[in-house]
Amino acid sequence: MRQWLVWAALWLLVVLILPDAQAESRHRNQDGVRRRGKRWRDGQGFIWTSEGRSKPLKIRLVPGPKGPHTPAGTLTFYRNIPELQSSYSVIPGKQTQCVYRGLTMLDLAVWSPSPCVTCLCSEGRVVCDEMICPTMHCPSPATPAGRCCPVCMEPDSGLSPELSGDSPVPSHPKDHIVPLTQEDIQRIVWREEEEHREEERLRRKDEARKKRRRERKEREERQRKMFEEKRREEEEALRLQMEKEEEEWRTKTEEADKGQQEEESRMTEERSRKEEMEQQKEVKEEVWLRGDVFQMPSKEELLPPPVPTHPTETDELKEVAPREEEEEEEEEEETTVVLPAGCDISDVSMTCENVQLIHFPPLNIPELKSLSLEGNNISSIPAGAFNGIPNLEWINLKKNKLTSAGIDPKAFMGLKMLRRLYLDENLLDVVPSDLPSTLQELKINENKLRGIDENSFQDLSSLVILELEGNLLSEGNVNPRAFAPLIQLSYLRLGRNHFRTVPQGLPKSLLELYLENNLIEEISETVFNQTTNLNMVSLRHNKLDETRIAPMAWFNHRNLESIDLSHNDFYLVPSYLPKSLVHLVLVGNKVERIPGYIFAHMDPGLEYLYLSFNRLDGEGIEPESFFGTYHSMMELCLDHNQLIHVPLGINEMTNLHLLRLDSNRIRSISEESICDPDLQEETTLVALRMENNYIDAMDVSPSAFSCLRYGSSVVLKPQKTIQRIHRTRH
């Protein structure tokens, strides 16, 4: 392609030059002598003549491929050759050729390497003619764009005389022809190569898009097949269940029919006692009409007490049938439960949420295991409230008006199966006493707890989760031995209280500790000495800085993997972090610097580092700041800072998945700042965000993101703009 373009350009040059030679030959006299006249050059490098005396052309000869430099002299080729038309040949195969700047020119080929120079290939030598501009006798000469010599300009119009129509220079069609230069030829070649690369890129992009579409269709087809198979299985299971239920219903119907027949025969035998039975039914209907009860009264309450007499044989026969009828009615009453409006019962769970209950309902459902009374106005729990539901495992009393004085000390004692108790958003000021020892989860968030004494959690050795957020607790009203009975406690939430220090006496079994939204100002060396199993600590929204954390507070912990220090007062990333740390959050601080080797001691290494919304700038990150994380870092967030370039060391992170550098002041991206071209390992970076900087996407090299798995995972838009000040050169 490139060779063909070169030949085409040479052919065009020859075609443009030949008419000049022909025009020059027509000016010769009949005896072969050329007519003399004044010559001048236009801005394209062509020579023209007019009547007048001629001057010899001064030229500068440049060396050809076969000879040395030739002294400056007069170019006699245009004068002495009698006829130029037949001597110009561009047919391949000529023996005499010239090589100019890597291009092979045929003999007598004429070209213009620049707008002011014309060259000729003559017998293996390259002869170049530099243009000499004539002296202009006009008040406002000017050089138009694309020309070498000045022309006379009209003062008012700003147009050249040639363009205005009254130029002394004769008009010629070659005035508007611009010969191709070497730069033009090279530019055409580059454009062709760029178009070829663009076509190849579009082709690969189209193939990738087709591949993704094909994979998506295959995935959808697999999902559809899985869905169809699952639907068929569900339909089959439903069919089997319906058949089973139908069989059970049929069996029950047969048994009911059989029982009905027996009942009818018995009723026939006892017709004499019909009046007594009618009276009992009337009493029963009266009870059903009452809507303020939750339990049917017993038969002893409905019937008058018996009169002690000596029963006769006839009386004994009369008493047998009513006793059997009463037993049947009692069985029917035991299976009937009357609920207040808005309540619902399903299997072993009962829900009465937001139904405006004022008192704890008297329930008698021994098989009940779950009870939710959330969102009511219950203010007290009497002593025998749970006598009829002793097998409860979960009680939800959130969002009521319970007070510590309103809960009887022995209210929960009879619940031997209770596992979870929720008392959030009430008015409790102390922890309820005598809670069941089987309790595993206790929530008393958003109350008015004013303290925790040594016996608050007595006998709760099975407790695993304890939440006391949003109360009035502090290190002054929490006894250091309050948590001692909680030998299995793993999860403790004390957020939104008034602690200034981490509370003392935390249980050894603790795995997760949440102390956010307190007033904590320091962390001493001894506060975490006993909690060697601690895995996660949240201290966000406190008043900590790097100088108030003791060096050995948690340095030797081997299980502490996550620390959240967001929204504190840190100016530096704190030193002496735990060796086992994997997840560090410092969002919303005032961090200006990441000291060198700050993460070097960690094993296996830091994997998640979040430093968004801080004050990091171009000098705050040292070349050794990320030392020790090159093979472990997976997510790095440095967005919303003041960085002016991509920090050093990022291109060495071989396991990085997510990188956020958006909303900074970065203006350029070098080819090696994010992706290391010498790294031969498989790339892992799948998401890169760099929007809201000052980056010009046209200046970014495509190889700068070569390590990303997918090009679409790079976010570069939108970018902020800079108002550039243009200075005029004087």
**pLDDT for the residue numbered 11:** 64
Residue 367 lies in a domain: no
> What are 199's two structure tokens?
């076509």
**pLDDT for the residue numbered 31:** 41
User: What is the dihedral sign for C-alpha 315, 321, 327, 329?
Assistant: negative
Indicate which CATH number applies to the domain containing 660. 3.80.10.10
Give the whole-angstrom CA distance, residue 329 versus residue 293: 19
Report which secondary-structure segment, H or E, holds 97.
strand 97-100
Where does the pLDDT of residue 153 fall: very low under 50, low under 70, confident under 90, or very high at 90 and above? low
667-696 average pLDDT score:
85
Give the whole-angstrom CA distance, residue 357 versus residue 363: 14
Of 124, 143, 122, nearest to 133 (Cα)? 143
* Per-residue pLDDT at 694 exceeds 80: yes
**pLDDT for the residue numbered 522:** 94
The SS3 assignment for 81 reads: coil
Q: What is the mean pLDDT of the chain?
A: 77
DSSP class of 728:
-
357-386 average pLDDT score:
92
Residue 488 lies in a domain: no
**pLDDT for the residue numbered 414:** 87
**pLDDT for the residue numbered 72:** 36
Radius of gyration for the alpha carbons in the chain, expressed in angstroms and rounded: 49
Amino acid letter, 692: N
* Per-residue pLDDT at 306 exceeds 50: no
184-195 average pLDDT score:
80
Give the whole-angstrom CA distance, residue 675 versus residue 654: 10
Residue 437 lies in a domain: no
Of 17, 179, 7, nearest to 92 (Cα)? 7
- Other beta carbons within 10 Å of 411: 21
Residue 710 lies in a domain: yes
Share of the chain above pLDDT 70, in %: 71
448-460 average pLDDT score:
93
Amino acid letter, 294: F
For 22-31, write each residue's pLDDT tens digit: 444 444 443 4
Greater confidence (324 vs 422) lies with 422
> What are 86's two structure tokens?
């037949």
Give the whole-angstrom CA distance, residue 119 versus residue 62: 9
Give the whole-angstrom CA distance, residue 614 versus residue 546: 15
**b/e per residue 504-542 (b: at least 16 CB within 10 A):** bebbebbeebbbbbbebebbeeebbeebeebbbbbbbbb
The alpha carbon torsion through 587, 592, 595, 599 (nearest 10 deg) reads 10
- Extended strands (E) in 358-452: 370-372, 394-396, 420-422, 441-443
* End residue of a domain, out of 180, 199, 234: 180
Supply the range of the domain harboring residue 700.
592-730
Highest mean predicted confidence (pLDDT) among 43-57, 623-637, 708-722: 623-637
Taking the complete model, does pTM exceed 0.85, yes or no? no
* End residue of a domain, out of 180, 207, 233: 180
Greater confidence (444 vs 22) lies with 444
Give the whole-angstrom CA distance, residue 470 versus residue 397: 17
Residue 172 lies in a domain: yes
Structural domains of the chain, count: 2
| Burial of 199: CB neighbours in 10 Å, binned 0-12, 13-18, 19+ | exposed
Least confident window among 141-155, 295-309, 425-439, 639-653: 295-309
* CB hemisphere CA count around 344 (13 angstroms): 5
Residue 684 lies in a domain: yes
Amino acid letter, 262: E
Range 314-322 contact pairs with CB under 8 angstroms and sequence separation of 24 or more: 318/273, 321/266, 321/269, 321/270, 321/273, 322/273, 322/276, 322/277
Residue 301 lies in a domain: no
Where does the pLDDT of residue 165 fall: very low under 50, low under 70, confident under 90, or very high at 90 and above? very low
**pLDDT for the residue numbered 324:** 47
Greater confidence (350 vs 333) lies with 350
First to last CA, the chain: 45
152-172 average pLDDT score:
47
**pLDDT for the residue numbered 240:** 87
Name the phi and psi angles at 283, rounded to 5.
-60, -40
For 251-284, write each residue's pLDDT tens digit: 877 777 777 777 777 777 776 666 665 655 544 4
**b/e per residue 73-108 (b: at least 16 CB within 10 A):** eebeeeeeeeebeeeeebeeeeeebbebeeeebbbb
For 83-131, write each residue's pLDDT tens digit: 333 333 344 444 578 888 778 888 778 877 776 778 888 878 888 877 7
Q: CA distances (Å), 194 to each of 199, 201, 499, in order? A: 8, 10, 66
Give the whole-angstrom CA distance, residue 409 versus residue 423: 15
**pLDDT for the residue numbered 67:** 40
Residue 188 lies in a domain: no
**pLDDT for the residue numbered 70:** 37
Q: Are 675 and 703 in contact (CB under 8 A)?
A: yes
* Per-residue pLDDT at 249 exceeds 90: no
**pLDDT for the residue numbered 447:** 96
Of 587, 607, 698, nearest to 656 (Cα)? 607
| Burial of 658: CB neighbours in 10 Å, binned 0-12, 13-18, 19+ | middle
For 601-646, write each residue's pLDDT tens digit: 999 999 999 999 999 998 899 989 999 999 999 999 999 999 999 9
**pLDDT for the residue numbered 2:** 55
The SS3 assignment for 155 reads: coil
Name the phi and psi angles at 206, rounded to 5.
-65, -40
* End residue of a domain, out of 180, 204, 239: 180
Greater confidence (112 vs 367) lies with 367
* Per-residue pLDDT at 52 exceeds 70: no
* CB hemisphere CA count around 259 (13 angstroms): 7
Range 352-361 contact pairs with CB under 8 angstroms and sequence separation of 24 or more: 352/376, 360/385, 361/294
**pLDDT for the residue numbered 723:** 58
**pLDDT for the residue numbered 274:** 64
**pLDDT for the residue numbered 245:** 81
For 544-593, write each residue's pLDDT tens digit: 999 999 999 999 889 999 999 999 999 999 999 999 999 999 999 999 99
* Per-residue pLDDT at 161 exceeds 80: no
**pLDDT for the residue numbered 338:** 65
